[in-house]
Amino acid sequence: MSVVSNSGILGQYEASKTNATTTEHKTNLDQNDFLKLLVAQLEHQDPMNPMDDKDMTGQLAQFSSLEQLTNIKTGINSLVSAQNQGSMLSAVAFIGKGVKADGFNLSKSGDTTSTVYYSLGEAVANMQVNVYASDGTLVRTDVIGSKQAGEFQYTWDGKDTSGTKMADGTYGVAIVAEDSSGAPVLVQSKISGVVSGVVTQNGTTMLQLSDGRTVDLSSVREVVAASSSTTTTQ
């Protein structure tokens, strides 16, 4: 009568148990780990050569500092969470309203394009507006020329340089200007749109516009009538 070896079966069983009970190793010590180490040190110390009082005091001070830092971190996380929730609740009040916010893009839907507002702190001798597709391709350049200091707005007609209507979507806009000596002049641009919702991105409260764009709540500079945030192209 032959004897059947179980070594293969046992080996498979042991391997499966090993895979199912993979040990996870910590890379950082927490409060419980620190306390366990301190207790273990006290339990296994040499009775004839006990831990020095100064060493004990120093380790207890470290434990106290660790506990305080942990509590501070927990408190800060709770505060940040509460602030984010508060920001989102306050942002809900913007839904259905038109806003102006710092930004560099515009949208096109059918014959309607969003308006870009810009301000000049000084007179410029030459200025132009560049419109870019989402892939970075230059679509249109409008030469504005000279402008005095003040508040202005730009309305794109939704066409490229050759006069062909562009597809609906979101486009980037860059306004560049220079003074009479050719030195660059800072141009502050703002985008406009109607708020349709509120979202959180990486802990930042964002207003979602009806055309799909999003703006940071902190970048909102003005709340305007919803009807003035878009312009119909001809």
Q: Are the C-beta atoms of 140 and 160 separated by less than 8 Å?
A: yes
Give the residue from 227, 198, 223 showing the smallest Cα distance to 99: 223
pLDDT digits (tens, 9 = 90+) for 174-197: 999 999 999 999 898 999 889 998
pLDDT digits (tens, 9 = 90+) for 142-186: 999 999 999 999 999 999 999 999 999 999 999 999 999 999 998
Which amino acid, 89?
L
116-120 and 150-154: which strand pairing?
A: antiparallel
Read off the tokens for 92. Answer: 């809900």
**Mean of the pLDDT values across residues 62-76?**
65
CA distance 104 to 114: 11
How many C-beta atoms lie closer than 10 Å to residue 103's C-beta? 22
CA distance 221 to 120: 16
CA 23 to chain centre: 35
Task: Look at domain 94-232 and name its CATH class.
Answer: mainly beta
CA distance 187 to 109: 26
Calculate the average pLDDT of the chain. Answer: 76
Which amino acid, 122?
E
CA distance 62 to 68: 10
CA distance 187 to 175: 7
Give the residue from 137, 142, 133 showing the smallest Cα distance to 172: 133
Ranges of each domain in the chain: 94-232
230-232 and 184-185: which strand pairing?
A: unpaired
pLDDT digits (tens, 9 = 90+) for 25-66: 555 555 666 667 666 766 666 555 555 555 655 665 666 666
Read off the tokens for 141. Answer: 């350049």
pLDDT at 130: 95
Which amino acid, 128?
Q
- Given a cut of 70, whether residue 123 has pLDDT beyond it is yes
Q: Which residue has the tokens 């703002």?
A: 190
Q: Are the C-beta atoms of 137 and 169 separated by less than 8 Å?
A: no
| Global model pTM greater than 0.75 | no
Distance (Å) of CA 221 to CA 33, 88, 177: 50, 17, 22
**Mean of the pLDDT values across residues 85-95?**
72
**Mean of the pLDDT values across residues 113-117?**
90
Q: Are the C-beta atoms of 194 and 226 separated by less than 8 Å?
A: yes
